[in-house]
Chains A and B, each alone.
Chain A
Amino acid sequence: MRLMPAPQALADAPNLPKPRVITTEPRLSDKVFRAVVTAGGLSSLVILGLIAVFLAYQGFEILVTEGLDFFTSSKWEVITDEYGDVVSYEFGLAAMLVGTMLCALVAVFVAIPVSVASALFLSFYVRGKLKAILIGSVDLMAAFPSILFGFWGFFVLMPRAEYWAMLINKYLGWIPLFAVDERVFTRSPFLAGLVLAVMIIPITTSVAREVFDQTPLDRVQAAYALGATKWAMIKAVALPYGRGGVVGGAMLGLGRAMGETVAVYTVLNIVYDINWQILFGAGGNIASLILLKFGEARPLEVQALMAAGLALFLLTLLVNFIADFIVKKSGKKGR
């Protein structure tokens, strides 16, 4: 009894520590930490916002004066008098928009079958060391700079692809898709699409492979237990499960292909006319147009290029948004 002081004495004792206040309030250091990290985390939002704002600000004048013509006309010219003053100008992006979509679509349609086949091969047909090596090679290709693809496409692929385009036109020319008015096959959207396909195959392959690798093992084994062959299992389990991932990966590749500059610039013949014939040697590409025109552009034309950049930016943002949406939704379906 003597050892325990009375409650009154405890409260009166001078040197006893006060009971700790228990609170969920973070300390100052944590508050600062959270604020700094949140600010840093929002940097992507800020940068994306600034890109849109500045490009819109610079291109505003052109967008207003050209109006809807900026997207529907395909003339791109500035006429100056002998003193270098601008007499008239007309900026239209239609041919470039069509060309950009055309090249990117060719790329995606070439890349999808190859990517799906190789992703299935990597997921279900090889294992161990060989799988690691193959995945490493595909990832390595994704790290190649685009200038490498550009000049490889120009020096190695172009002479061959021209011949392939000729063959396709000769034997499949009756299909409207492969028809051409004039037999000019160099530097066509088809060739640019092939180079882009080579560029995006690693991306689409690795996205598809990651989704296929996540195929629920119980479903795979259930299929095998029911006597399915590997191919039957892939048809019944892996493909339905991974469909969303494949489509999302393809959209991601589409976004990459639309924004690529250097690899397209080196192999595409830029013409200011809308051309839907993929084998014909004339095409358009917004990014390449910017690079082509920038060197000699006067302030007015630079503004038009800024507006073109804004259009490209919003287009790729939209495609990426759809891709993200599809990839997120996938993985829940499948039998």
Chain B
Amino acid sequence: MSIETDNPLPSKEKKITPQPQTPWKTSGTERASSLIFILAAAAASYMTVALTPMKGILPLTLLFFIFAALFSFIRGNRSRGIVAGQDSAAGVVMAIGMFVALLPIASILYTTVSKGLPGLHRGLLFNDMSAATPTDPITEGGLSHAIVGTFVMVMISLAIALPLGLLTAIYITEIRGRFTRPIRFLVQAMSGVPSIVAGLFILSAFVYPITKTFSGLMGSLALSILMIPTIARTAEEVLRLIPEDLREAGLALGGTQWRTVAMVVVPAARSGLVTAVILGIARVAGETAPILLLTGGGDQININPVEGAMGSLPFYIWKSFFFGSEEAVARGWAGLLVLLTLVLILFATARFFSTRKVR
């Protein structure tokens, strides 16, 4: 009671209940002022380009960045002093960094799609290049041999790399022996092996001493060297996420470690392991350097990996661009578009599997 009597406010205003306030939210005025500030930076940079001899999109962009950082500094400085000025300018600089990092990806996607689309036609997926020369119109021939070759090689390398990569991951997460740290480092080091070195290694270890000829199998061997670290590292990350409780439960039920890993841990991680496989495939599907060294790059469909030259998407693209005629370059872009689409599909599938919950 005494509180009410102490209250100096007139009784009329007592009825006003305090509304919950959200001072951290951006208000409408703040948003409007941000918009005005961006427009001001754009206008200033445009004016500078228009009034001075500097011309073109490059100075425009650069000036926009500079003006944006400068204006935001002034804005923060005016409202809350120099510290706030630095803070808002830093925010703009970070955003610019993000923009610059994403610019190439947009450019790459746009270029590939816009230059690759004219080269697409129905026969592309069903014909090979055995009857067409690079100077033939783009509607002749296709890249079925390349798709088939890439598929065969990737599958063989997967058959080699999946067991080895998975065993490596299981060793690191389940056995946890005394080689765990060295093996983790070696897998890391292996992921840094230049692809051309992998190609040279297969050349020196298999092609020259044993087979004496280029073939799809040799290409797959080199690809599997590049695939193992990707699979091992992704699988390791996934197996790490499996709760320790599951392993303990398996062992407490009397299972041996072998049965616990095979029946509990690996099945629990299967969607993540699918991700590992897909990322491994995406890693090698477009790998070019070892393919150029080892496969010979044929022009017709060849599904025999141990005999004869085998075409593949990277080889097809490489050959087309280096032939250089207008039609060949169009073919190359079409091939790049197909390869890009393949990588995008693989990436999206991997995302789909990795975002599912580990059960």
Contact = CB atoms under 8 A, between A and B. Distances in A.
Interface string A200-234: 01100100000000000000000000000111101
Contacts of A155: 111, 115
B347 A259 contact: no
A145 B182 contact: no
Nearest to A50: B205
B232 interface: yes
Interface string B190-202: 1011111110110
A229 B86 contact: yes
A313 interface: yes
A312 interface: yes
Contacts of A312: 194, 196-197
Contacts of A266: 321
A149 to B, nearest CB: 7
Nearest to A123: B94
A201 B87 contact: no
Contacts of A320: 188-189, 192
A48 B186 contact: yes
Interface in B87-107: 87, 90-91, 93-98, 100-102, 104-105, 107
B94 A125 contact: yes
Interface string A127-138: 000000010111
Interface string A44-81: 11011011001101100000000000000000000000
Given A262-B288, A306-B204, A29 B190 contact: no
B300 to A, nearest CB: 21
Interface stretch (B32-40, B151-159, B170-178): B170-178
- How would you classify the secondary structure of chain B's contact residues: helix, strand, loop or mixed? helix
A167 B44 CA distance: 22
Given A118-B94, A121-B98, A320-B188, A309 B279 contact: no
- Which interface residue of A120, A141, A261 has the most chain B CB atoms within 10 A? A261
Interface of B: 58, 83-84, 86-87, 90-91, 93-98, 100-102, 104-105, 107-108, 111-112, 115, 163-164, 166-168, 170-172, 174-175, 177, 179, 182-183, 185-190, 192-198, 200-201, 203-205, 208, 225, 228-229, 232, 256-259, 261, 279, 282-283, 285-289, 292-293, 314, 317-318, 321, 332, 336, 339-340, 343-344, 346-347, 351
13 contacts: A38-B177, A41-B172, A41-B179, A48-B189, A55-B200, A55-B204, A152-B111, A232-B87, A259-B196, A291-B289, A312-B197, A313-B194, A319-B192
Given A44-B190, A231-B91, 12 more contacts: A38-B171, A48-B193, A51-B198, A121-B94, A125-B95, A229-B84, A230-B87, A252-B192, A259-B193, A309-B196, A309-B197, A312-B197
Interface of A: 26-27, 29-30, 32-34, 36-45, 47-48, 50-51, 54-55, 57-58, 113-118, 120-122, 124-125, 134, 136-141, 143-152, 154-156, 160, 163-164, 198, 201-202, 205, 229-232, 234, 252, 255-256, 258-262, 266, 287, 290-291, 294, 302, 305-306, 309, 312-313, 316-317, 319-321, 324
